[in-house]
Structure 1
């Protein structure tokens, strides 16, 4: 097993940590919006709805656009899989 005790000292660690934090925030906030939409409006926000809504959000803009879009695509896929499993 590889020793990872030195990873916090790696020169890219602060940037990777920042991007992970922003990615987590974007995913969780998007998931919150999907859940609120389902609970109160009885509608499902698609990837395109989320992208339009969140494109001006700070976490979305702080991450490269391709990455932000992929995060929303992953959430959309996870949501679809959740409902297909019921």
Structure 2
């Protein structure tokens, strides 16, 4: 596997998409926090992905649909990773509280005006003549040193 780190200057499209990713993160986190505080079993990744793949009647809640599908799925996976880390820390805390300054807390919401990462896979992007092409929804192309994805 090859990796190239590319720095992209301020870009309105990317910023908007990162904001949408943050909104999706907070939507998923809301459901999981609600389940946690109501002492319910937390939804699995598969259940959450299916739930958010169905468009809502409320347009502002359709953050999953505003992102490329795999990118939206990765955002949900990242929320689940945060919760898994929380439960792992909680388990360790119960055995060795001296390792912590206080009890672990559930994952918080991202800042209202903030952004969250966008993850793209090799299935979503292509390289043509040294140009990395992102999904069409992004309308973004970047020069790269790689030959192919």
Match of 1:66 in 2: 70
Give unpaired runs (5+ residues) of structure 2: 1-8, 56-61, 91-149
**Residue of structure 1 aligned with 2:12, choices 6, 11, 14:** 14
Q: So what's the TM-score if we normalise by structure 1?
A: 0.80
Counting only pairs closer than 5 Å after superposition, residues 1-86 of structure 1 correspond to structure 2 as 7-8=9-10, 13-40=11-38, 42-57=40-55, 58-86=62-90
- Segment of structure 1 superposing worse, 67-76 or 32-41: 32-41
Q: Residue 83 of structure 1: SS of its match in structure 2?
A: helix
Q: So what's the TM-score if we normalise by structure 2?
A: 0.48
CA deviation map 1:14-51 (0-9, x unaligned) = 10111011000000110001111122252111111111
- Distance in 2, Cα, partners of 1:49 & 1:36: 15
- Residue 56 of structure 1 deviates from its aligned partner by 2.1
Bigger fraction of residues in helix: 1
Q: Displaced runs of 4+ in structure 1, greater than 2 A? A: none
**What is the root-mean-square deviation of aligned Cα atoms in Å?**
1.3
Give unpaired runs (5+ residues) of structure 1: 1-6
Match of 2:146 in 1: none
Q: How many residues align?
A: 76
Q: Residue 44 of structure 1: SS of its match in structure 2?
A: coil
